[in-house]
Amino acid sequence: MLFAIGVIGAVIGSFVNVVSLRVAKREDFIHGRSYCPHCHHRLCALDLLPIFSYLFLRGKCRWCKHSISIRYLLVEITFAILFVLVAFLKQPMEVRGYFFCTMCMLVALIDFDSFEVDLRMLLILVIGYFCFRMNSVEEAMLSMMSGLVLYFTVYGIGKWVWKEEVLGMGDVYYLATLGLYFSPSQILFVGLFSFVVAGGVVIGWMMLSKRNKVHEKIPFAPFISNSALLTYLFSIQWI
């Protein structure tokens, strides 16, 4: 059963990867066949088998022999692992868990590609909450408002002190939306842990590149998603 769930996760991961890339390019991800981004040749079924196709083709397009980004393989493996963890740590039929993991990864990938948090995906997360109802409405609203007030305050203070955005409004909306799925203390942990991990990555990158300052934009949603997934999967309770 776990193997079958992992396969389903890899298939969904393959689709989510396509969605994130096409959303970043402002392309239609519902209609149209998959194609090689280099030679634009339409891919057949054997080219689209998650994980297996990448390994079988040795990371190269069947038609133009151009290297395929390893991102495709990594995303598919990540989804397979996430779905297996949901089945193992929660329940095999935990549909809301698969939905939550899928949406968190999708928001993260879109932000990674476009440096924007897609508000349509946040709306789907809100609708998903009312469909699955992971906690009481009262607690969910309290967590959502707590997250919105707290992280909007962080956004305002950062902009006032450094005269520029240190946290995008899309990230604030994302954290507030995640509040629907967590308790007030958990959404506090999700945000703070995201800052800690992101700070560690930035400092490590500065040390390796021998830079004193970072001027490039850094997508923050992947760190938020990572923190949210850990909190959900391992039921982290933090006071």
How large is the angle between the packed helices 95-114 and 221-233, nearest 10 degrees? 160
Structure tokens at 182: 């967590």
Residues with Cβ < 8 Å from 62, sequence gap 6 or more?
47
| Torsion angles phi and psi, residue 74, rounded to 5 | -65, -40
Does the pTM exceed 0.85?
yes
HSE value, Cβ hemisphere, 13 Å, CA-based, for 31: 0
Beta partners for 67? Answer: 60
- Tally of CB atoms within 10 A around 114: 16
Residue 189's contacts (CB-CB under 8 Å, 6 or more residues apart) are: 227, 231, 236, 238
- Name the 3-class secondary structure at 35: strand
Going residue by residue through the chain, which has 239 residues, state the pLDDT in tens, using 9 for 90 and above. Answer: 999 999 999 999 999 998 998 888 777 776 667 778 788 788 887 778 899 988 988 888 888 888 888 999 999 999 999 999 999 999 999 999 999 999 999 999 999 999 999 999 999 999 999 988 766 788 888 889 988 998 989 888 888 887 777 788 999 999 999 999 998 899 999 999 999 999 888 888 878 877 666 667 789 999 999 999 999 999 888 65
